[in-house]
Amino acid sequence: MSQWHEDLISVESAGTLHGLFRQRVRRSSDNLAYRRLARNGRDFSDYTWADMATEVRRWRAALAAEGLRPGERVAILLRNGPEWVAFDQAALGEGLVTVPLYTEDRAENAAYVLRDAAVRLLLVQDRGRWRRLRPALEGNTMLERVLVLEGDLAAEEMDPRVRRVVDWLPDEAGDRPPVASDPHGLATIVYTSGTTGRPKGVMLSHHNILSTTHGSLTLVEAYREDLFLSFLPLSHTLERTGGYYLPMMAGAAVVYARSVAQLGEDLKRVRPTAIIAVPRVFERIHQRIEGQLAENAKARVLFHWAERVGWARFLYLQGRAPWRPALLAWPLLRRLVADRVQALLGGRLRIVVSGGAPLCEQVARRFIALGVPLLQGYGLTETSPVVAVNTLDDNEPASVGLPIRGTRVRIGADDELLVKGPGVMLGYWNDHAATAEVIDPDGWLHSGDQARIERRHIYITGRLKDILVLSNGEKVPPADMELTIALDPLFEQVMVVGEGRAFLSALLVLSKDLWPGLAAEYGLDPEDPESLRSPALVSAMLARVRSALGEFPGYAKIRRVTLLLEPWTVDNGLVTPTLKLKRREVLARYAQEVEAMYAS
């Protein structure tokens, strides 16, 4: 390990998130902090910590000139980049509270957050995003300044609140002490979807995030020589903590990927040593491998041999299985198979953390068997967000890992996972009732996830709340979607599915009364079960569903449907006596149909 050097900043010496930045600038002034790839994927711009300090001073001076008071909220609607960090650190240095927004979210959702948090100043990426957002802000009198980072503003869009960042920032600014901030005071409000459909503002303090960051580093080490590739949005708490504050605490550098669509190219170009990802990244590579193996029988045999030997080797290295003579084949199989798979991820990864949604054990085992250091973790926005993560020396891919230092977990009623520790949020913004529902009087946060604990490892077994988590980490409350779809008289019953999947699908029970007429309209025999699989009929029903969900947020997109005629009743065990849907039983009954929707 002589090539790797620890340079951790403690929670106590940092004090606040801006204190963490200032400490890193003092320690690593001339070291690489951030790198931005150009659109061509070849050129790049480097920023040292000293460069970032200069930029933060300029942003702080401009924010101070706006007359904002400590504790007031400022929002950020940017793609990942050094400007995200500069604005965040400048706001924190001025004692302000940052509110991150998703760049691809609906304008109505962003407008709701801006109103709810009483945001005074907004930084937006470009003219196009401002144009889409502006109509939704009609009547918002709290928002007094809008900053546009890129591009010019057309004359017809001029608004006294709007300024280009290039005109707003001073050319230079001197350093000055940060505004005094309480480490346990509010640092950021992160909005997350709830079962009601309205996002709730999770209030996180400086200490919440710093303690979680440091606790994570006690299980998953990071070094000065590490190079992180950042591609999850920084508005996502997982990326913000794991891909921004954690590298800063460790002194590592971060490279910003161009886009998710270009991630494969950027991985090969950057060759990172660490990435934070969601399961969908690994699922896509898995699907690509499966497609290639389907076309080559010899390659398929070799690949599965490498998997078997690689998995046996992993268990041996973990101390969970004895040495076997088959392991002698590993050097050859590594060169022929494993190295090629690792090359898809850059070929230099030391740590890969998957979080934000459950990772399929089959997919995890494949990558681990082929030498990818893949660790699954678990957390919630309400816990800043990390609760647990596997380690390189104790990696159980079916589990979400061990609790990080300082975090306690236990199993409560109905097998619910309860969490207590310094990362637990201050509460929900302007919603004391919702806070009381999730944090009990003893300080335990109720996760809504069912779990079991074995050998200190946490295994998630289900969800108490009917919230679906897609493989990209997006959380979707299906109840309102189902009620809306069921307003169509053609649909007697509806269940949205997609837990751990790449997209949402739906099971639709058609009205028996209306089915004969519908079948006749499409020239189908209503007595033939195959009629329910008519491509024209299925396509038409999918269009009706999408139309019904037209006013819903961007996450509410149904891409596949299965049509059924048998109703879900108390007698067949698919609904309760109070007519509540038994989701597990429905999924079990129609497992084949659900798999078919995700097969292609």
Q: Report pLDDT digits (tens) over 264-273.
A: 999 999 999 9
CATH top-level class for 478-597?
A: alpha beta
The reply to whether 17-181+226-272 and 277-468 are identical in fold is yes
Q: What average pLDDT does range 242-262 have in this prediction?
A: 95
pLDDT of residue 579: 63
Q: Report pLDDT digits (tens) over 145-175.
A: 999 999 888 765 678 899 999 999 999 999 9
Q: How many of the other CB atoms lie within 10 Å of CB of 58?
A: 17
Cα gap 302→336, rounded to integer Å: 9
Cα gap 5→26, rounded to integer Å: 17
**Tokens representing residue 331 in the block:** 């050097």
Cα gap 559→506, rounded to integer Å: 8
pLDDT of residue 463: 74
Q: What burial class does residue 503 get, using C-beta atoms within 10 Å of its C-beta: 0-12 exposed, 13-18 middle, 19+ buried?
A: middle
Q: Report pLDDT digits (tens) over 164-221.
A: 999 999 999 999 899 999 999 999 999 986 433 478 999 999 999 999 999 999 999 9
pLDDT over threshold 90, residue 305: yes
| Sheet of strand 119-126, all strands in order from the earlier edge strand to the far edge | 162-164, 145-150, 119-126, 73-77, 97-100, 186-192, 200-205, 427-428
Report the 3 state secondary structure along 108-141: HHHHHHHHHCCEEEEEEEEHHHHHHHHHHHCCCC
Q: What average pLDDT does range 389-399 have in this prediction?
A: 97
Place of tokens 């299906």: 478
Judge whether 49 and 29 are in contact, CB under 8 Å. yes
Cα gap 426→435, rounded to integer Å: 9
pLDDT over threshold 70, residue 294: yes
Cα gap 42→269, rounded to integer Å: 8
Helix (H, G, I), strand (E, B) or coil at 409: strand
Judge whether 340 and 303 are in contact, CB under 8 Å. no
Q: Report pLDDT digits (tens) over 44-99.
A: 999 999 999 999 999 999 999 999 999 999 999 999 999 999 999 999 999 999 99
Cα gap 480→238, rounded to integer Å: 27
pLDDT of residue 1: 46
More confident residue, 413 or 291: 413
pLDDT of residue 108: 87
Kindly report the average pLDDT of the chain as a whole number. Answer: 92
pLDDT of residue 174: 93
CATH topology classification for 277-468: Rossmann fold (3.40.50)
Side-chain half-sphere exposure of 312, counting CA atoms within 13 A: 16
Assess whether the previous peptide bond of 279 is cis (omega < 30° from 0): no
Domain definitions of the chain by residue range: 17-181+226-272, 277-468, 478-597
Helix (H, G, I), strand (E, B) or coil at 257: coil
pLDDT over threshold 70, residue 417: yes
Cα gap 275→267, rounded to integer Å: 10
pLDDT of residue 39: 83
pLDDT of residue 104: 79
**Tokens representing residue 582 in the block:** 């038994």
Q: Which segments of 225-352 does DSSP mark as H helices, in order? A: 237-240, 246-250, 263-270, 279-294, 297-317, 330-333, 339-343
Q: Which secondary structure element, helix H or strand E, spans residue 187, and what is its range?
A: strand 186-192
Q: Report pLDDT digits (tens) over 118-137.
A: 999 999 999 999 999 999 99
pLDDT of residue 155: 60
pLDDT of residue 157: 61
CATH code at 17-181+226-272? 3.40.50.980
Q: What average pLDDT does range 315-328 have in this prediction?
A: 97
Q: Report pLDDT digits (tens) over 436-487.
A: 999 999 999 999 988 999 999 999 987 777 778 888 888 787 877 887 888 7
Closest Cα to residue 346, out of 228, 248, 233, 234?
228
